[in-house]
Amino acid sequence: MEEERKLQIDAHPQIWAVGGGKGGVGKSVISVLLAFWLTRMGKRTILIDLDLGGANIHTLMGIKSPPKTLNDFVTRRLDSLEEVCIETDVENLRLICGASDILTLSNPHVAHKIKIINHVSKLDADYVVLDLGAGTSFNVLDFFLAAEKKIVVMTPQPTAIQNAYSFVRNVVYRRISRLASQQPPLQAMIKSAMDENNELRVRTIRDLLQAVEDIRGNEVMETLRGEIEAIRPTVITNMVTNNNDKNAGRVIQLVSEKYLMVHPRNLDSVAYDKQINQMVSSMVPITTLGQSSDAFANLYDITMKLL
């Protein structure tokens, strides 16, 4: 928890983390275009590929072979994240590439993770956008929790909605589990509650907080409640093709409020654009997407609202 607070309080750059529970929902595309629009608004921005098992941001930027990657920092070949940054064709936008071909980064040691989190706060930028990997590994969840703007990307498909909710649920449990790390009885209770068929008959976060209050007292319960309510993720629904698709984010908002006591911000959706898929396949930088693209315009509006 301490490194998260350090990043949020002392950091010069504001950190935006883009995550989600399912691969293929367009997190990397969203990350790139958010970073692009930040630069267009005069913000010095660094985009970091933290998909440590399948880094691909550099290809979306039209870079075939990065001269240096995050692995150079983790393995101490380079001393700082600043040294890992490479320039891009977009003015004011720098990139820190991941290293999907090097196993040392697919499951970094806790010390490496903390080192990355701490050094992000030292970057010379106004904004840093973190593109996270899919899934709910502790690494993904901890990077997500360390950011000031926590962005969940999903698509309107039922499986993607389910995975997005699961992602938010795991974020909540990871937050309170870490908070209880020095209290084994409380942590055991939280771990048990994560099993939906637990013997405590805890089915929602509200149930868990009631059980905590009964066993550990009101003060502990209120501390956990405050940590949960402070998460406040932002939900973006990507690849929308019709008006009904736009309701997907509202679903996450409602079920998260009901079962997790989390209050997500349901932001605008992003239209499906087949041109993006074509550009990715051809390794054309998606930052050159045509101004007539609805998706391009949607991301501009979303960036303005996030600011």
Report domain extents, the chain. 2-161+232-306
The pLDDT-based confidence of 64 (bands split at 50, 70, 90) is: confident
8 A C-beta contact, residue 272 and residue 241? yes
CATH topology of domain 2-161+232-306: Rossmann fold (3.40.50)
Q: In what order do the strands lie in the sheet with 265-266?
A: 86-87, 93-96, 45-50, 127-132, 14-19, 149-154, 234-237, 265-266
- Alpha carbon distance 298, 128 (integer Å): 20
8 A C-beta contact, residue 41 and residue 307? yes
List, for residues 190-230, the tens digit of each pLDDT value. 777 777 666 667 778 888 888 888 888 898 889 888 989 99
Q: Which whole number is the average pLDDT over 262-284? A: 89
The pLDDT-based confidence of 76 (bands split at 50, 70, 90) is: confident
For the stretch 286-295, contacts whose Cβ atoms lie closer than 8 Å and that sit 24 or more positions apart, written own/partner, are 286/29, 286/32, 286/33, 286/60, 286/61, 287/32, 287/33, 287/36, 287/61, 287/88, 287/89, 287/90, 287/93, 289/33, 295/33, 295/270, 295/271
Compute φ and ψ for 232, nearest 5 degrees.
45, 70
- Alpha carbon distance 31, 55 (integer Å): 13
Tell me the pTM.
Answer: 0.89
DSSP 82: H
Residue 101 has pLDDT above 70, yes or no: no
| Percent of the chain's residues with pLDDT above 90 | 45
pLDDT of the residue at 100: 58
